[in-house]
Every structure is written in structure tokens, then in C-alpha cells.
Chains A and B, each alone.
Chain A
Amino acid sequence: QVTLKESGPGILQPSQTLSLTCTFSGFSLSTYGMGVGWIRQPSGKGLEWLANIWWDDDKYYNPSLKNRLTISKDTSNNQAFLKITNVDTADTATYYCARIPRDWGQGVMVTVSS
């Protein structure tokens, strides 16, 4: 059974760096073909894909945020990470990690506020 769970700071201030962790089980990011992605959803709005990382360490980013995003993984601990630099209120959202499109975490709410 595949599970994913996100964790994050909950609240942070504008201009800070948001660090998110996805801890998963039921698969390995060292296995050929496996990947984990990050998607976010502002309250009451739609879904926006942010980034993906693959078993071979290939990384893909949404061009609209590319300069602010860094995705990474820790294969031995079954974790994936996302950092977003220089956050502002527009980054307030629920952040999901997922083995797209099939398996999704429960999401973590992040609020950017001064």
C-alpha cells in the first residue's frame, strides 16, 4: 500500500524560504520509473503542479516558479523535499505530494503572513 504524508512549517513570513517534506512508503525512489511530484491548491481554487523528481534524479519544474523552486530526495529515508524561496501571500495554499497521478498525500496547509 502506497502512502505519502506532507509536513511543513504551517505559517511563515513573506520573503522567507518554505521547506516541505514528503515522507512516503510502499515504493522506493530508487526504483526505475518512480517519481514524486508537488502540487499546490489555494483555498477554494484549482490545482497547480510545481515540480517532479524521478528515480534517476531528473528534476522538472513549473516554469512559472522555476527560479524559486528546488526539489530533492533522500532515497534511503523515503523522503522528497521542496523548497520555495522568497515566499509571499500568493504562496498560501495546501501543498500535496503525490506519485502523480495515482497516489496523493493528505496535504499540508501553508500560510504566508506578516
Chain B
Amino acid sequence: DVVLTQTPPTLSATIGQSVSISCRSSQSLLDSDGDTYLNWLLQRPGQSPQLLIYSVSNLESGVPNRFSGSGSETDFTLKISGVEAEDLGVYYCMQATHAPLTFGSGTKLEIK
């Protein structure tokens, strides 16, 4: 199975601060069809996960553009440019290139 290693496990930020979360894969996530199926999700407290970024860098409809994704092959990053209070929660990367679909262990974002 593909192992996704997220760092840091926890992150504490002030409002307006920019932060980054890393997701490293044990295998390349570049699919034979040319796409890279690495997505970022946010799970707010008591809620279901919500898609933020799909295929590495595509912003999901309705998601604020302070969220951005980058990376390739095995190294990926989610950046929040100017954290807001509503951004608190646990961020997960997930890959759908290789079966079985797997998730990172999560990064908990706390607001100072």
C-alpha cells in the first residue's frame, strides 16, 4: 500500500500567518494517464471531510483561494496564505492513483 507521511502532525498559527503542510508518498503518484491523484481534505471539528484541492493543485469550487497545492511525484505541499479562524481542523492528504486508496495521518491546525 502507498504510505503518505504528513508533517507536521500539529501546527499552531496566528490569524493571518501563512503555513504549509507536507505530504510525502512512498511511491510516485503520477498515474499512467498523466494525472496525479493527490488530494487535500479538511475535516473541521465534528464535521465530515471536505475537499479543498484535487489533483495536486486544482482548487475545489467554493474553496477560498488562500489555499493552494503544489508538488509532483512523491512530494506535495498544501499552503494556506493567511490563516483564518475557520481553517482550524485536521488536514489530510489522500491518494487515489494506486489501489488501495490511502490517506495521510493528518495535520491538526490550531489557531493561537
Contact = CB atoms under 8 A, between A and B. Distances in A.
Interface of A: 37, 46-49, 52, 60-64, 96, 100-102, 104-107
- A contacts with B: majority SS: loop
B92 A46 contact: yes
A107 B94 contact: no
B48 A49 contact: no
Contacts of A63: 1, 100
10 closest Cβ pairs, A-B complex:
A104-B48, A49-B101, A47-B103, A101-B39, A62-B100, A102-B51, A101-B51, A46-B105, A46-B106, A104-B49
Contacts of B51: 101-102
Contacts of A106: 48
Interface of B: 1, 39, 41, 48-51, 54, 60, 92, 94, 96, 99-106
Contacts of A62: 100
B72 to A, nearest CB: 19
A96 B49 CA distance: 9
Contacts of B104: 46
B41 A49 contact: no
Nearest to A96: B48
B46 to A, nearest CB: 10
Given A64-B100, A100-B96, 12 more contacts: A37-B101, A46-B105, A46-B106, A47-B103, A49-B100, A49-B102, A60-B99, A61-B100, A62-B100, A102-B60, A104-B49, A104-B50
B49 A47 contact: yes
Q: B1, B49, B50 — which one has the most chain A CB atoms within 10 A of its CB?
A: B49
